[in-house]
Chain A
Amino acid sequence: MQFGIMSVSDITRDPVSGHTPSEAERIKNIVRIAVHAEEVGLDVFAVGEHHNPPFFSSSPTTLLSHIAALTERLVVTTSTTLITTNDPVRLAEEYAMLQHLSGGRMDLMLGRGNTAPVYPWFGQDIRQGLPLALENYNLLHRLWREDVVDWEGQFRTPLQGFTSTPRPLDDVAPFVWHGSIRTPEIAEQAAFYGNGYFANNIFWPKEHYQRLIRFYRQRFEHYGHGTQKQAIVGLGGQAFIAKNSQDAHDQFRPYFNEAPVYGNGPTMEDFESMTPLSVGSPQEVIDKTLTFRDAFGDYQRQLFLVDHAGLPVDMVLHQLDLLGEHVVPVLRAELESRRDPEAPANPPSHADLVTAKYGDESPRQPRPNANRGDNVTGGSPYQDSETAVSEYPTL
């Protein structure tokens, strides 16, 4: 079971001190937070993608490759990568590059993005959000698995003889999660390809997420990727921890009350009783998190939202200390002891995917042929291609 944190990348005024961090400050601090996540023993750092203020994370692969360079074990990922407004060709290239630079310590989670004005900034239309997401992933999937792709779809210019470079590390595509909270088609796509499914598990009662996760598990089995228990499920959640329940509530309340996502809506206590939010002592957070497994079955990744709503960086770093010291070790032991042996303990790592593809053989290392100006002639621009053309006509 992997534990980690996910950041929305919001730059929010601290309602207690009145301080609004600059972009420079927040970007420096997110790196500290990510590095500290590894120091306290967490496994995963995820960052969102946004293209409007007050968010800073427009370029997740740049941030994540920097974080990967500063860490040893941490898996870097996204929460989420916009599969709608990004060209899947650019996604294939950028995330393959991140995969190389991080030594395979990465995966990514795809999401649609629900901010309508962002779509036209990238030449798209939110009314086509769902077909865009589905079609773009279909292309992305092929770009990482076929050296040369011919492709024609509804939304982007056709591709003839296109090769996405660099080829994925060891010629094994990065593991992909599909994030969704209300769209059966996305769960179906995750199941069809045998990819992971992630529910943010933040805003709604658990029943809401249960239905789609159950559907995803059933369809994963239907498509022959394994049993329902073997499907790869990830969950979000948010926690605020203090030594005792009262301190946690007192410290978090001003941030909750003014948080852009909940501000002026339900009370914190209502939100705690109706959603997966846990505010309290380590034991309370542990107890609440354990209910996720009861609701959704054995799952492989738990990400907590800890750095939002204007919480100052020192408080966030302290939250990580508490998570790493008092919460996650207990959760690891508890969840491992309860896990059905049929269910995987972790989502597939790069090493797992390499073994699955090659067994004991050494992985393919693509080496390009000399430049001939196109990819169209012959089967592949790489030297190991069986159908490579060895001689070219000269004029």
Chain B
Amino acid sequence: MTDYRLVVVSAGVSDPSSTRLLADRATQRVTDLARERGHAVSITTVDLRELLQELPAALSSQLLGPRFTRAIDALGAADAIVAATPVYKAGASGLFTSFFQVLDNDLLIGKPVILAATAGTARHALVVDEEMRALFAYLRALPVPTSLFASTEDWTDTALGTRIDRAARELVLLMESGFARAVRDDAWGAYQHTYGSAGGTELDIDLDSDMMRLATGGSLRTSAEDDPFDPRRA
């Protein structure tokens, strides 16, 4: 029995929002399945429209307001994520992409994610796989194999429920595998981090680097051992 932290990010802006509805259905399924398997799940929901006022500062000056900071703290501690957006003009909503563009590159490494989108027409169906997947690949998150997409007609189709069930099961299995935590414990140093990244937690400074040697009066030039013709070689 493990306690899991699930964070739901929804970019729906109407109230009620079909995007939020899709996210909630997936979240409910994840919670039920996890419970059946003996786990408890705590849920934090990040409604991105509540971050709208802080978005200009975050985008233009990297100044994060209190709501952004709370959302980032939650994502940093998350064991799994449900990320849902409406599709506008053949793409994920600007609010959704802007939010993820503000995050540190290493905040979501290895974390399992259900990707979900809603739209007014089925012609947008590939936005999840062709656009959102690329964004999360860049962030080195781990989207589950089944993507969720719901256009108007899907809400009356039982097939949507089947896909939600599949995606939720995939997410629970990935969460149980402990992959994200293992990556963090075993291989964190192999990823690129910047000072204060990963939501401000990545503060170790590597003193044993070429740049640090140069900073302390060393040289970038190759050492004698690297060059067979170097006269310094004994």
**Interface residues, chain A, CB within 8 Å of chain B?**
130-131, 134-135, 138, 141, 152-154, 182-186, 188-189, 192-193, 203-205, 207-208, 211-212, 215, 262, 264-266, 270-271, 274-275
Q: A40 to nearest B CB, angstroms?
A: 31
Are B220 and A135 in contact, CB atoms less than 8 angstroms apart? yes
Are A192 and B215 in contact, CB atoms less than 8 angstroms apart? yes
Q: A238 to nearest B CB, angstroms?
A: 14
* Also in contact, A275 and B63, with CB within 8 A (given A184-B205, A208-B196, A211-B195): yes
Are B221 and A134 in contact, CB atoms less than 8 angstroms apart? no
B159 proximal to A (CB < 8 A) = no
* B60-97 residues at the A interface, CB under 8 angstroms: 60-63, 65
Docked Cα-Cα span, A205 to B216, in Å, equals: 29
Docked Cα-Cα span, A18 to B7, in Å, equals: 49
Are B220 and A131 in contact, CB atoms less than 8 angstroms apart? yes
Are B214 and A265 in contact, CB atoms less than 8 angstroms apart? no
Are A203 and B63 in contact, CB atoms less than 8 angstroms apart? yes
* Also in contact, A135 and B195, with CB within 8 A (given A153-B221, A270-B65): no
Are A274 and B63 in contact, CB atoms less than 8 angstroms apart? yes
Are B219 and A192 in contact, CB atoms less than 8 angstroms apart? no
Are B220 and A205 in contact, CB atoms less than 8 angstroms apart? no
Docked Cα-Cα span, A131 to B61, in Å, equals: 26
Docked Cα-Cα span, A138 to B194, in Å, equals: 24
Are A154 and B63 in contact, CB atoms less than 8 angstroms apart? no
Q: B161 to nearest A CB, angstroms?
A: 43
Using CB atoms, name the residue of chain A closest to B57.
Answer: A266
Partner of B214, one of A131, A152, A266, A270: A131
Q: B201 to nearest A CB, angstroms?
A: 11
Give chain A residues whose Cβ lies under 8 Å from the Cβ of B65. Answer: 270, 274
Docked Cα-Cα span, A83 to B56, in Å, equals: 33
Are A153 and B195 in contact, CB atoms less than 8 angstroms apart? no
Q: A215 to nearest B CB, angstroms?
A: 6
* Also in contact, A265 and B196, with CB within 8 A (given A138-B214, A204-B63, A274-B63): no
6 pairs from A and B in contact (CB 8 Å cutoff): A134-B211, A135-B219, A185-B212, A205-B63, A262-B61, A266-B60
Using CB atoms, name the residue of chain B closest to A265.
Answer: B60
B126 proximal to A (CB < 8 A) = no
Partner of B61, one of A130, A141, A189, A266: A266
B217 proximal to A (CB < 8 A) = yes
Are B195 and A154 in contact, CB atoms less than 8 angstroms apart? no
B203 proximal to A (CB < 8 A) = yes
Give chain B residues whose Cβ lies under 8 Å from the Cβ of A135. Answer: 214, 219-220
Give chain A residues whose Cβ lies under 8 Å from the Cβ of B216. Answer: 188-189, 192
Are A185 and B60 in contact, CB atoms less than 8 angstroms apart? no
Docked Cα-Cα span, A153 to B216, in Å, equals: 14
Are B56 and A211 in contact, CB atoms less than 8 angstroms apart? no
Q: B95 to nearest A CB, angstroms?
A: 17
Docked Cα-Cα span, A154 to B214, in Å, equals: 11
B207 proximal to A (CB < 8 A) = yes
Docked Cα-Cα span, A22 to B38, in Å, equals: 73
Docked Cα-Cα span, A192 to B194, in Å, equals: 22
* Also in contact, A131 and B211, with CB within 8 A (given A189-B216, A211-B196): yes
* B159-205 residues at the A interface, CB under 8 angstroms: 194-196, 200, 203, 205
Partner of A271, one of B62, B63, B194, B207: B63
Give chain A residues whose Cβ lies under 8 Å from the Cβ of B61. Answer: 203, 262, 265-266
Q: B157 to nearest A CB, angstroms?
A: 44
Give chain B residues whose Cβ lies under 8 Å from the Cβ of A204. Answer: 62-63
15 further A-B pairs in the complex, CB-CB below 8 A; given A192-B215, A262-B61, A274-B57:
A131-B211, A131-B220, A153-B220, A182-B194, A182-B195, A185-B212, A262-B60, A264-B56, A265-B57, A265-B59, A265-B61, A266-B56, A266-B60, A266-B61, A270-B63
Give chain B residues whose Cβ lies under 8 Å from the Cβ of A275. Answer: 63
Are A215 and B205 in contact, CB atoms less than 8 angstroms apart? yes
Q: B10 to nearest A CB, angstroms?
A: 24
Docked Cα-Cα span, A152 to B230, in Å, equals: 14
Are A153 and B56 in contact, CB atoms less than 8 angstroms apart? no
Using CB atoms, name the residue of chain A closest to B196.
Answer: A211
Give chain B residues whose Cβ lies under 8 Å from the Cβ of A212. Answer: 195
Partner of B220, one of A154, A184, A262, A271: A154
Are B195 and A184 in contact, CB atoms less than 8 angstroms apart? yes
Using CB atoms, name the residue of chain B closest to A218.
Answer: B205
Give chain A residues whose Cβ lies under 8 Å from the Cβ of B63. Answer: 203-205, 265-266, 270-271, 274-275
Give chain A residues whose Cβ lies under 8 Å from the Cβ of B196. Answer: 182, 208, 211
Docked Cα-Cα span, A189 to B217, in Å, equals: 8
Using CB atoms, name the residue of chain B closest to A266.
Answer: B57
Docked Cα-Cα span, A215 to B59, in Å, equals: 28
Are A152 and B215 in contact, CB atoms less than 8 angstroms apart? no
Give chain A residues whose Cβ lies under 8 Å from the Cβ of B217. Answer: 138, 141, 192-193
* Also in contact, A185 and B56, with CB within 8 A (given A204-B63, A262-B61, A266-B61): no
Docked Cα-Cα span, A251 to B200, in Å, equals: 36
Give chain B residues whose Cβ lies under 8 Å from the Cβ of A271. Answer: 57, 63
Top 6 A-B residue pairs of the complex, sorted by shortest distance between their CB atoms = A266-B57, A265-B60, A189-B215, A134-B214, A192-B216, A188-B215
